[in-house]
Amino acid sequence: MKFGYTRVSTRGQARTGYSLQAQRDVLIQSGVNEANIFEDAGISGAKSSRPALDEMLSKLRPDDEVVVPALSRLGRNLTDLMRLVETLTKQQVTVRFLSESIDTSSATGRMMIGIFGAVAEMEREQIAERTALGRERSKALGRTGGRPKKYGSDTLKHVARMEENSGLTVKQRAAALGIPLASYYVLRKQTV
């Protein structure tokens, strides 16, 4: 029996990137019954335990085939990927990666998975390194991450003055400054 597995790391990828629907379509075109497709959304390929993957693995029997749109969908951690492929091979389950055109039915296919897996892991580590360097560079230039503050120091000063000299209720103070009550409470804590 053929089983399919799809995964996206983030909800954003599910909507815009290599979407679950696009992966599902590829699997159906390759002969996988839609009822046998297992999907993990918002879960990193670096995690060895994923709910849909675990469920699919529990259903596999000898001579079954697992079809995956791309090697990176099954895993980006080489050790876990190779362990999973080895386990499935011992269970006489074939794994086929569509975009790389390789499967585990031959020694050459298993070797190619190791090579591609190593490249995917290296790419992931390089992205993490570049991201860390970018954050360090921005920090050295005095830039911090996150959303810009909605209210500046002037608003904070007005809140401080209101707290000192006003007979108004908190709700009236927030209204007088034209800001939501919840924001007023946040700004009020910053003045203390």
- Catalytic residue list: 9
Q: Which residue has the tokens 């697992």?
A: 66
In our burial notation (b when 16+ CB lie closer than 10 A, e otherwise), range 72-90 reads: bbbbbbbebbbebbeebee
DSSP of 66-111: EEES-HHHH-S-HHHHHHHHHHHHHTT-EEEETTTTEETTSHHHHH
Please provide the distance, in angstroms rounded to a whole number, between the alpha carbons at the two ends of the chain.
66
Q: How far, in Å, CA of 101 to CA of 80, rounded?
A: 21
Q: CB within 8 A of 44, min separation 6: which ones?
A: 9, 76
